[in-house]
């Protein structure tokens, strides 16, 4: 599969690079960013952390704002950040910021017109990791993390595929999207009005009935304006207690929903993943 590199920037001895490729899963061109730590310069293979960003973000936000490269270089972890949705002139869109391009919600859409392109779940689970392994000096070991909508996506992917990930973490995830306005709007459009399929993409529901498990870490800011209506971290806490799921959930006083919050605790998350990727 051909890749077109669009930028390359050296940092902490490694490289942050952005690429475009033709996605067969999404039937459009897709962008992703990758940070290759300095250990890969001599061909050494390293494990990968996949990062899923939130509403309105692209493959650039995390790489530019999270201050993750220094610690990734120290720990010897590659970071891959895909775009948050399919994009293009022929890709369905919506006037709202919380649906359509920039708001893929990491589901496989079943409803027209969204089902033509919006299969972010399959893209992140299968096509993108296959491409990364075929192209870059990385191992098969992977973990996953994300923020807000991306935190929801990371948790869902890990909960449904515990054999594929060593660990999962999230900042301010949408914990119970079937009962949150963001999730209800997106799921109605992408999955249809029949709510029986929605639970396949709800982390709290999946965690409550989980059979297999990977270690999970969640950080939530207590000053987050979306805390009560959209994020509902208490649903994850209740689910973990019900099933005994290995979840650590930290409530951070004074922190909001921004990348200032993510940058403050990204080192903790990278160290958490490094511990599990090395076992």
pLDDT, one tens digit per residue, over 155-184 is 999 999 999 999 999 999 999 999 999 999
* Domain limits for position 16: 3-278
* Catalytic option among 23, 85, 148, 167: 148
Q: What is the mean pLDDT of residues 219-233?
A: 98
In this predicted structure, the answer to whether residue 1 has a pLDDT above a threshold of 80 is no
- pLDDT score at 42: 87
**If you average pLDDT over every residue of the chain, what do you get?**
97
Q: What is the CATH number of the domain that holds 133?
A: 3.40.50.1820
> Considering only CA atoms, which of 76, 35, 66, 39 is closest in space to residue 277?
76
Q: What percent of the chain shows pLDDT beyond 90?
A: 97
- pLDDT score at 258: 98
Q: What are phi and psi of 182, to 5 degrees?
A: -60, -50
- pLDDT score at 212: 85
- pLDDT score at 2: 84
- pLDDT score at 43: 87
- pLDDT score at 279: 64
Q: Is 152 a catalytic residue?
A: no
Structure tokens at 56: 């309105």
What's the total number of domains in the chain?
A: 1
Residue 210's pLDDT band (boundaries 50, 70, 90)?
A: very high
Give the model confidence (pLDDT) of 259-269 as tens digits. Answer: 999 999 999 99
Cα–Cα dist 57/151, whole Å: 13
* Catalytic option among 152, 257, 273, 276: 257
Q: Is 117 a catalytic residue?
A: no
Residue 216 parent element (H or E): strand 216-221
* Catalytic option among 224, 240, 269, 273: 224
Give the model confidence (pLDDT) of 86-101 as tens digits. Answer: 999 999 999 999 999 9
pLDDT top residue among 278 and 267: 267
Give the model confidence (pLDDT) of 58-94 as tens digits. Answer: 999 999 999 999 999 999 999 999 999 999 999 999 9
> Residue 183 CB: number of other CB atoms within 10 A?
24
Residue 278's pLDDT band (boundaries 50, 70, 90)?
A: confident
In this predicted structure, the answer to whether residue 254 has a pLDDT above a threshold of 70 is yes
């Amino acid at each position: 599969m051909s890749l077109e590199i669009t930028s390359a920037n050296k940092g902490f001895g490694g490289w942050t690079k952005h690429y475009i490729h033709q996605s067969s899963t999404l039937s459009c061109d897709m962008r992703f960013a990758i940070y290759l730590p300095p250990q890969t310069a001599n061909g050494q293979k390293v494990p990968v952390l996949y990062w899923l960003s939130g509403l309105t973000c692209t493959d650039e936000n995390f790489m530019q704002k999270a201050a993750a490269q220094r610690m990734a270089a120290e720990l010897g972890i590659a970071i891959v950040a895909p775009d948050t949705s399919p994009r293009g002139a022929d890709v369905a869109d919506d006037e709202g910021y919380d649906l359509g391009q920039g708001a893929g919600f990491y589901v496989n859409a079943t409803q027209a017109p969204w089902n033509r392109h919006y299969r972010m779940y399959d893209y992140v689970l299968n096509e993108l990791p296959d491409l990364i392994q075929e192209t870059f000096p990385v191992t098969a070991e992977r973990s996953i993390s994300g923020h807000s909508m991306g935190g929801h996506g990371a948790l869902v992917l890990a909960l449904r595929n515990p054999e594929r990930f060593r660990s999962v973490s999230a900042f301010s995830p949408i914990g119970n999207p079937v009962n949150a306005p963001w999730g209800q709007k997106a799921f109605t459009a992408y999955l249809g009005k029949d709510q029986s399929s929605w639970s396949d993409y709800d982390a709290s529901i999946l965690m409550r009935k989980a059979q297999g498990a990977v270690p999970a870490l969640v950080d939530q800011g207590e000053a987050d304006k979306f805390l009560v209506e959209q994020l509902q971290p208490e649903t994850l806490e209740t689910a973990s207690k019900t099933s005994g799921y290995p979840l650590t959930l930290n409530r951070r006083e004074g922190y909001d929903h921004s990348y200032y919050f993510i940058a403050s605790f990204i080192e903790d998350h990278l160290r958490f993943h490094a511990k599990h990727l090395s076992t």
